[in-house]
Structure 1
């Protein structure tokens, strides 16, 4: 009886631990783009806008690189940068990373994702979203 109880507990624990992985795998890619540097700045790599359950996220892929940026912020654009859309700070200049998009943001209203230097008020990189 003790052995069956232990087996049931182990199975339950395994199911609980695997649940977040299953949810992460279920993320739906809504839009994709590739960064290009602007104004002499250098950037490359992929970005995706994903829906993970009820949460929208910006996901930078492993190939992402931004060179030499003092104050990079995350923002949206429609045929150009929109200064009222900054919603966070870029934490790393390269590699995989994710940022939660603020609730209520209509990502379909934009066709670009921007990296913007707020300190100097200049664009660093833009990804056209498909």
Structure 2
């Protein structure tokens, strides 16, 4: 190889290496082939079921927005099923008031894709509108813990959950919704 050829080839190879490195960092293509499963229990103390067995979500769950002095378990406030947007996404989302008064967004049976910088949001827009963007007044609850399973996200204290119409799996890097669940008042 002549000296002038090396002067051209070396810089081109360096530029290609830098571009490939930036592309790998930015797109993280390996995430299309990997899964992260999370299986968190709903926070709080669960009473045993009437048959003496440990409680399941159904036996410890109280539906409706009202609670009494006897309620010591979680209270469902709103719930909905995920619909797919940019990626196939399924599962349910529900907002829950815990016995201590704190609130969480609980995502159950989630099946979605992984991606770079995926986060969980509450949005004032309905799921169809979220496909075009989150809108004003959204609340970020944190990075998506896993693309499969059951997980909890703490809602900031003082947040009025009745204002939010959907829970959203949002890719921050590409500003797209993977999927969203409408939040309708829980049936009691």
Q: TM-score range by the shorter chain?
A: 0.7 to 0.9
Q: Which whole-Å deviations, capped at 9, do the CAs of 1:76-99 have from their partners, x for residues lacking one? A: 222232364223111111101111
Which stretch shows the higher mean deviation, 73-82 or 45-54? 73-82
Unaligned residue ranges in structure 1 (runs of 5+): 1-18
**Residue among 101, 111, 114 paired with 2:155:** 101
Relative to the length of structure 1, the TM-score reads 0.75
Aligned partner (choices 117, 121, 124) of residue 175 of structure 2? 121
TM-aligned CA deviation for residue 70 of structure 1: 2.0
Q: Distance in 1 between matches of 2:84 and 2:115?
A: 11
Q: Which residue of 2 aligns with 1:70?
A: 116
User: What stretches of structure 1 move > 4 A for 4+ residues in a row?
Assistant: none
From the two aligned structures, give the one with the greater strand fraction: 1
What per-residue deviation string (whole Å, max 9, x for no partner) do you get for residues 3-51 of structure 1? xxxxxxxxxxxxxxxx9333x931000000111121x311001111000
The answer to whether residue 166 in structure 2 is matched with residue 112 in structure 1 is yes
Provide the TM-score with structure 2 as the length reference: 0.53
Extract unaligned runs of 5+ from structure 2.
Answer: 1-43, 48-56, 61-72
* 8 Å CA contact 1:57, 1:101 repeated in 2: yes
User: In the alignment, which residue of structure 1 is the partner of 2:107?
Assistant: 60
* Count of matched residue positions in the alignment of Structure 1 and Structure 2: 109
Which has more radius of gyration? 2
1:82 partnered with 2:128: no
